[in-house]
Amino acid sequence: MIIDSHCHLCDERLRPRQQEIISVLKQNGLESVFEVGWDLQSSKDAVELSNMYDEVYAIIGTHPHDAKNFDDTSREYYKEHAKDKKVLAIGEIGLDYYYDLSPRDVQKKVFEEQLVLADEVGLPVVLHIRDAYKDALDILCANKDKLNNGILLHCYASSKEMLREFNKLDCYYALGGAITFKNAKKDDVIMAIPEDRLLIETDSPYMTPVPFRGQTNVPYYVNLVVDKIAEVKNVDRSVIEKATYQNTLRLFSKYNR
């Protein structure tokens, strides 16, 4: 069985198709999907969806794009619902200097505050980092004592060298559709990620893998990510399915089927 560790079925592009998508997960080999919030409302939606469907789990938090809207109400909601059975982690949180949709100082502050929050509630963190790996690493290192519940770097897109630094913090890495785009450097990164630290994801509706690039991504396309990793590592896809499944269970210790 496989798990899509990162999707956004509450994005407006997928919302009308939620039921249809969830109903075909099993026949596509998926045991479940992790629905990731990006602000207060989408986190509430993620919790609600996880309560409606057995196959859906929730990850709640404020994305760096929305850091400027993070407030006490958001913090209180995340703190309260972190106790929910199907809320597995705090995310996606982090830094995005590519779009800079929130001021960088606000992004940093909100990132740090949510690391503290995750520590308080005893949950792992799911990170979104874009063009900000060095600053993210500095913040993580400064908060090392609060990172005892696990770290997942979603859509890892930096170098092998940077990977070594994050390995020191015992990070997990989720790979998605981007690895199917033509770029040999990505194969190096796939090879460099420790086998017991690798997870799979879609980030749907974004990051649609080849050959569906240009269309809307959906969770069951995660199969194409498995195929690509298996091809690069030259192993049977069952090896990748098994390893990523075990890694997902180890990191998200509240996950329970």
Closest CB to Ni ion among 17 and 160? 17
Of 47-55, 101-109, 201-209, 217-225, the segment contacting Ni ion by CB under 5 A is 201-209
Backbone angles phi, psi at 242, to 5 degrees: -65, -45
Q: How far is the CB of 135 from Ni ion (least distance, A)?
A: 19
Is residue 203 near Ni ion by the rule CB under 5 A? yes
Angle at which helix 133-142 crosses helix 104-121, to 10 degrees, equals: 40
Q: How many residues form the binding site for Ni ion (CB under 5 A)?
A: 1
Q: What distance in Å separates the CA atoms of residue 131 and residue 114, rounded to the nearest whole number?
A: 20
Q: How far is the CB of 60 from Ni ion (least distance, A)?
A: 13
Closest CB to Ni ion among 35 and 203? 203
Is residue 39 near Ni ion by the rule CB under 5 A? no
Whole-number CA gyration radius for the chain: 17
Q: How far is the CB of 77 from Ni ion (least distance, A)?
A: 19
Q: What distance in Å separates the CA atoms of residue 44 and residue 53, rounded to the nearest whole number?
A: 15
Closest residue by beta carbon to Ni ion: 203
On whether the CB atoms of residues 199 and 152 are closer than 8 A, the answer is yes
Q: What distance in Å separates the CA atoms of residue 182 and residue 213, rounded to the nearest whole number?
A: 12
Backbone angles phi, psi at 195, to 5 degrees: -60, -30
Q: How far is the CB of 248 from Ni ion (least distance, A)?
A: 16
Is residue 4 near Ni ion by the rule CB under 5 A? no
Q: What distance in Å separates the CA atoms of residue 56 and residue 18, rounded to the nearest whole number?
A: 11
Closest CB to Ni ion among 128 and 168? 128
Closest CB to Ni ion among 35 and 241? 35
On whether the CB atoms of residues 65 and 37 are closer than 8 A, the answer is no
Closest CB to Ni ion among 203 and 241? 203
Binding site for Ni ion (CB under 5 A): 203
